[in-house]
Copies of this chain bind each other. A is one copy, B any other.
Amino acid sequence: MPRGARYRGGMSTARARFYSVIPAGGIGSRLWPLSRADAPKFLHDLTGSGVTLLRATWDRLTPLAGEQRIMVVTGRAHRAAVEKQLPEIGDENIVLEADPRESTVAVCLAAAILRKREPDVIIGSFAADHVIRGDRLFRQAVSHAIEAADAGYIATIGIRPTEPAIGFGYIKSGAPLDIDGAESVLTVDSFVEKPDIERAKKYVADGGYLWNAGMFISRADVLLEELGRNEPQLRDAILELADAWDDPATRGPAVDRLWPTLKKVAIDYSVAEPAAAQGRMAVVPGYFSWDDVGDFASLAKLNSHGRPSDLAILGENARVLADSSSGIVVSHSKRVISLIGVKNIVVVDTPDALLVTTSENAQRVKGVVDALKISGRDDVL
């Protein structure tokens, strides 16, 4: 679409230029043995909704700009699984990574490819493996973020905290930006690392702090300019890749040559934090419910409907018999599972691996994955 066209259908010009990007990369090691190299977190239904997180993300985004304007960035190994989940997706909307290179490459390569196709494109990047409830409120927040992006900001959506969570990073918001049609948009004062519980309580009491959900909405050119300021070499390599991308004759050689050189860095460090320091980040407070489902404690909470005394059960045709037990059971085998007198338990039952732990130890699951790697038991990773 040529620059300068101000409307598409009844949408604002900004909204008409919007394109979603779904980085579908991380395995989700803290959810082992549910999540595996060949069955990463985004390919699971973690809420009992009947659809995978990836599919739910897609369904949440299609009303924004249609199913032709969503790009998925994923590993080569996951191509078939992604296409199975998203049969509507066009070839031009799947970007396959030769190997994982962290979020900067995933998001900025998509931005660069799309900018080549549509110079004034506005991209919004949303993880494939988060759980959101309240899709209408989500899309409303995205709409406001698109307006902020159109005004030249790199926008993010910060989730209004419902409790002093210590598992998320926070965004300290600043003054209102007074953007037309997006009155809720604030400047980002700074990004704050995961706090301890005392600090988290202060953040919630303060009211100005929002959870960092890792969503970025920006004009592609603005995003790449910011990347160029902080990681010029990486930006150049990404632009070169993007130039070669849409021609089958040039993409392969470019990937072979450039991919191994791509720096692994989170977009928080390469773009968001430096941009915030320069006053170039905006944040839209989001009032929908959001969780990154970082570990089994989070998964248990998500599925126990706020009643910690409950036992959440996940898995089709689960055969669970529980007596005086709470926590979560994930049943991916057909076995009868019996629990007696175990509180805050986490039982994850898959055909070739079993995990038994407690909510309190949920963060330590990653250590098991590391230990399995070291001991050469890759067959269950």
**Chain A residues engaging chain B, CB cutoff 8 angstroms:** 33, 319, 321, 323-324, 334-342, 345, 347, 349-358, 360-361, 364-365, 367-368, 371-372, 375, 377, 380
10 pairs across A/B with beta carbons < 8 Å? Answer: A319-B377, A321-B368, A334-B352, A336-B352, A336-B354, A336-B372, A338-B356, A339-B355, A340-B355, A340-B367
Q: How far is the CA of A108 from the CA of B181 in the complex (A)?
A: 92
> Are A340 and B357 in contact (CB-based, < 8 A)?
yes
> Are B356 and A335 in contact (CB-based, < 8 A)?
no
> Are A356 and B336 in contact (CB-based, < 8 A)?
no
Decide if the interface of chain A is mainly helix, strand, loop or mixed: mixed
> Are B353 and A340 in contact (CB-based, < 8 A)?
no
> Are B364 and A354 in contact (CB-based, < 8 A)?
no
Chain B residues with Cβ below 8 Å from A371 are 321, 323
> Are A361 and B336 in contact (CB-based, < 8 A)?
no
Chain B residues with Cβ below 8 Å from A358 are 340-342
Given contacts A323-B368, A377-B319, contact A352 B339 (CB under 8 A): no
Given contacts A345-B356, A353-B335, A354-B349, contact A340 B365 (CB under 8 A): yes
Q: How far is the CA of A376 from the CA of B44 in the complex (A)?
A: 31
Chain copies in complex? 2
> Are A321 and B372 in contact (CB-based, < 8 A)?
yes
Q: How far is the CA of A165 from the CA of B354 in the complex (A)?
A: 33
- CB closest residue in chain B, given A334: B352
Given contacts A321-B372, A353-B335, A372-B321, contact A361 B340 (CB under 8 A): yes
Q: How far is the CA of A280 from the CA of B350 in the complex (A)?
A: 58
Return A315 CB to nearest CB of chain B, in Å.
Answer: 12
Given contacts A319-B377, A367-B323, contact A341 B354 (CB under 8 A): no
Q: Choose among A340, A345, A351 the residue with the greatest number of B CB atoms under 10 Å from its CB.
A: A340
User: Of B33, B347, B360, which contacts A356 at CB under 8 A?
Assistant: B347
Return A371 CB to nearest CB of chain B, in Å.
Answer: 6
Q: Choose among A33, A342, A356, A360 the residue with the greatest number of B CB atoms under 10 Å from its CB.
A: A356
Q: How far is the CA of A217 from the CA of B108 in the complex (A)?
A: 84
> Are A357 and B342 in contact (CB-based, < 8 A)?
yes
> Are A341 and B361 in contact (CB-based, < 8 A)?
yes
User: Of B340, B345, B352, B357, which contacts A368 at CB under 8 A?
Assistant: B340
Q: Choose among A338, A341, A342, A358 the residue with the greatest number of B CB atoms under 10 Å from its CB.
A: A338
> Are A335 and B364 in contact (CB-based, < 8 A)?
no
Besides A335-B351, A338-B354, 7 new A-B residue pairs in contact (Cβ under 8 A), listed by A number: A33-B338, A319-B377, A321-B368, A323-B364, A335-B352, A336-B352, A342-B356
